[in-house]
Amino acid sequence: MKKLKTSNLIVEKKKLAYGIHMFWIENELVANNAKAGQFVIFRIHENGERIPLTIAGVKDGTFRVIVKAVGKSTYELCRFEKGDKIIDIVGPLGQPSEIKNYGNVLVIGGGVGIATIIPIVKELKNHRNRVDVILAARNKDYFVLEEEFKEVDNLYFVTNDGSRGMKGYAHEMMEKLLKKKKYDISWAIGPSLMMKACSEVAKKYDLKIWVSLNAIMVDGTGMCGGCRVRISDELKYTCVDGPEFDGRLVDWESFNTRLIQYKEEEKLALEKYLEKVGEPTWL
């Protein structure tokens, strides 16, 4: 049996926007088994925390992740360059997206979620769906990997500042489309507040909506319980039951509370790191 290459070597790195970097990593075990919607967990050094990252593409024994610098660990990761290695990668983890022929599908990506929806959109098109996509960002400079949406049926842009497309928010464009067109299912992946707002719109129009929850994780197997989330009246674990859930059923209040529970500790850790390394010119 041929031994799979799992060097975890960074074979390509590219800055997509300020604080947002793309990495292609050599790991045939992940690349050969990954399905749309799944994720990996990185550890970048021996004492590092675990970083869950959604798989945003695979090719030739490598897989892609998009990293946004938001805390100490992701700031550190964004300093890695081509030729560096990730010390530890676990995956693919989680349940894949439920892809089949639905008919009319609406997919929404916000921020780094723009990259995350790419494998989902491609698989939906492979299953002969008609796919409309909304890309949402703070301004025109943050529409990453836009060229990979050429095959969609309709592509809409939304910016907070109005620098491209409609001025406003993803859920506002979503409602605008739902008023004039019927969709059979939808996805929304991006910041938690965006997914919550889109889920409220979906509920209003009786439309199922899949969201991908970026919960705090440690082991990725459901043992630690750190990623637990309440879905309707059930307790689920994002790492094994998700990361995708019906957004209409998510207890967003408790999820968002858990998401920021270590906010002060994370802020302090980042401040200490930047005191040590200086201005983050690599972002």
**CA 164 from centroid of its chain's CA atoms:** 22
**Pairwise CA distance, residues 6 & 140, whole Å:** 37
Per-residue pLDDT of the chain (283 residues; tens, 9 = 90+): 566 777 899 999 999 999 999 999 999 999 999 999 999 999 998 888 889 999 999 999 999 999 999 889 999 999 999 999 999 999 899 999 999 999 999 999 999 999 999 999 999 999 999 999 999 999 999 999 999 999 999 999 999 999 999 999 999 999 999 999 999 999 999 998 999 999 999 999 999 999 998 765 555 454 555 567 777 787 777 777 778 898 998 877 877 777 776 778 888 888 888 888 888 998 8
Q: Which CATH architecture has domain 9-93?
A: Beta Barrel (2.40)
**What pLDDT, on a 0 to 100 scale, did the predictor assign at position 257?**
75
